[in-house]
Amino acid sequence: MMKPEWLARSLLVALLALAALAVGAGWYGQRGVVTLRARMPEGGGWSPGEIKADVGEPLKLRLTSDDVTHSFAVGQLDLPAVDIHPGEMSEVTLVFDRPGKYTYYCTRWCGLNHWRMRGTIEVSSPDPSQTGKVVVGETPLYLELGLDIDTPHPAQLTPGSKPAASAGRARLEQVPLKYRGLSYYRTHSPAAAWEALRAEPFARDLSDAQVWSLVAALWQANTGAERLAEAEAIYRQNCAACHGENGGGDGVFAAQAASEAASMDVPTSGQPIDAHDLKTPANFTAAESMLGASPAILQGKIVRGGMGTGMPYWGPIFTEEQIWALVDYLWTFQFDYSLEVNP
């Protein structure tokens, strides 16, 4: 018969072992799987910040957050974002068919420095002929054209009120063909287009405002409702927080973006912050600056970021088509694209 004391000791040891094992079991169960921990950039961002994978091999990631709601998406992959909730686990399995450096990023706002929350997945291939292919789009247009996206681009003349594309649509057929293609649209600012159209013979009898409506109609002809809808969703999710829901450069982070960014030291793989990050986000409703920019310049700014501000660089994140759609959407802050014909 077991002495009571030894029975007691066995019971105690068993219970303590159970407690320790329960925690240990959690540990054991997690080995072999990459757990990606998400934290606000102020708290360290993604951990790990770099992941390695092989072409064609599924990469299983378990995702959890250590502070607030985040989300996981990989730039330029057709994958819906996976929400990451604090204290809970999400899972995602990725398969890459091309080697290269992919950027993963957070898609739910997690504070002022949300956009700096990025990491890289290095996808390598055993096939030597496949190495070295970098996964980004083709060279952005502004680089091809050698445009300077950092100097200011004020328009010489601006319309008195927001031009309505519907007013100019009727006269679109009169506009010479050279103005109507995508290449013209992308390489010319609305102000430049206005000046060119103003000088054209067919526009001699038109008022300045009517020429602006023509420019608006021309701009609208280079995009479509579906693209604009997709772009609006991207804008609301990614841009509105700084640039404002109505494009006025007055988003919730506008003021902070200028001052706080300069004083914070955020250790991420993104752009370092310096004292130049002092300007507030661009105001898309300001006619002078917007109408003097060509879509190529706008695309460049979105792709590269910077400009002496806290503007993120979206090149690795969005596809080229997505960024062009976004540029198309930005014009809706300057032009009225609604379908009714205003008399």
**Contact residues for 285 (Cβ-Cβ < 8 A; gap 6+):** 246, 247, 248, 249, 333, 334
69 near other proteins, judged by CB under 8 A: yes
Which is closer to other proteins, CB of 124 or CB of 237? 237
68 near other proteins, judged by CB under 8 A: yes
Strand partners, 118: 105
Among 54, 85, 319, 320, interactor with other proteins by CB under 8 A = 85
In the complex, least distance from residue 258 CB atom to other proteins, rounded to whole angstroms = 15
Which is closer to other proteins, CB of 20 or CB of 170? 20
CA 292, 213, 235, 145: dihedral to nearest 10 degrees? -40
Q: Residues 14-43: x/- map of binding to other proteins (CB under 8 A)?
A: -xx-xxx-xx--xx-xx---------x---
- Residue recorded with tokens 């287009």: 193
In total, the chain counts a number of residues equal to 343
Total chain residues near other proteins (CB under 8 A): 47
In the complex, least distance from residue 31 CB atom to other proteins, rounded to whole angstroms = 12
Q: Which two tokens stand for residue 216?
A: 């608006």
Among 1, 4, 138, 263, interactor with other proteins by CB under 8 A = 4
Asked if 254 and 239 count as a contact pair (C-beta separation under 8 A), the reply is no
Q: At what angle do helices 208-221 and 190-199 cross, to 10 degrees?
A: 120
CA 213, 216, 217, 221: dihedral to nearest 10 degrees? 170
Binders of other proteins among residues 223 to 242 (CB under 8 A) are 236-242
Among 38, 45, 74, 108, interactor with other proteins by CB under 8 A = 108
Binders of other proteins among residues 43 to 62 (CB under 8 A) are 62
- Angle subtended at Cα 254 by Cα 250 and Cα 259, rounded to the nearest 5 degrees: 145
Binders of other proteins among residues 142 to 181 (CB under 8 A) are none
CA dist 123 and 204 (Å) reads 59
In the complex, least distance from residue 315 CB atom to other proteins, rounded to whole angstroms = 21
Which secondary structure element, helix H or strand E, spans residue 331, and what is its range? Answer: none
* Phi, then psi, of 28 in degrees rounded to 5: -60, -40
Rounded alpha-carbon distances, angstroms, from residue 230 to 87, 104, 144, 223, 327: 32, 20, 26, 12, 12
- Angle subtended at Cα 77 by Cα 75 and Cα 82, rounded to the nearest 5 degrees: 80
Which of 84-92, 147-155, 317-325, 335-343 is the region at the interface with other proteins (rule: CB under 8 A)?
A: 84-92
110 near other proteins, judged by CB under 8 A: yes
82-84 and 100-105 beta bridge pairing: unpaired
In the complex, least distance from residue 236 CB atom to other proteins, rounded to whole angstroms = 5
Which is closer to other proteins, CB of 89 or CB of 229? 89
In the complex, least distance from residue 14 CB atom to other proteins, rounded to whole angstroms = 9
Which is closer to other proteins, CB of 35 or CB of 174? 35
CA dist 193 and 133 (Å) reads 38
Which of 87-95, 149-157, 161-169, 331-339 is the region at the interface with other proteins (rule: CB under 8 A)?
A: 87-95
Task: Give the gyration radius of the chain's Cα atoms.
Answer: 27
Among 75, 140, 190, 251, interactor with other proteins by CB under 8 A = 251
* Phi, then psi, of 198 in degrees rounded to 5: -55, -40
In the complex, least distance from residue 326 CB atom to other proteins, rounded to whole angstroms = 14
Which one-letter DSSP state was computed for residue 336?
Answer: B
Which is closer to other proteins, CB of 28 or CB of 202? 28
Which is closer to other proteins, CB of 35 or CB of 156? 35
Among 122, 127, 144, 245, interactor with other proteins by CB under 8 A = 245
Binding site for other proteins (CB under 8 A): 4-5, 8-9, 11-12, 15-16, 18-20, 22-23, 26-27, 29-30, 40, 62, 64-69, 85-89, 108-112, 114, 236-242, 245, 251-253
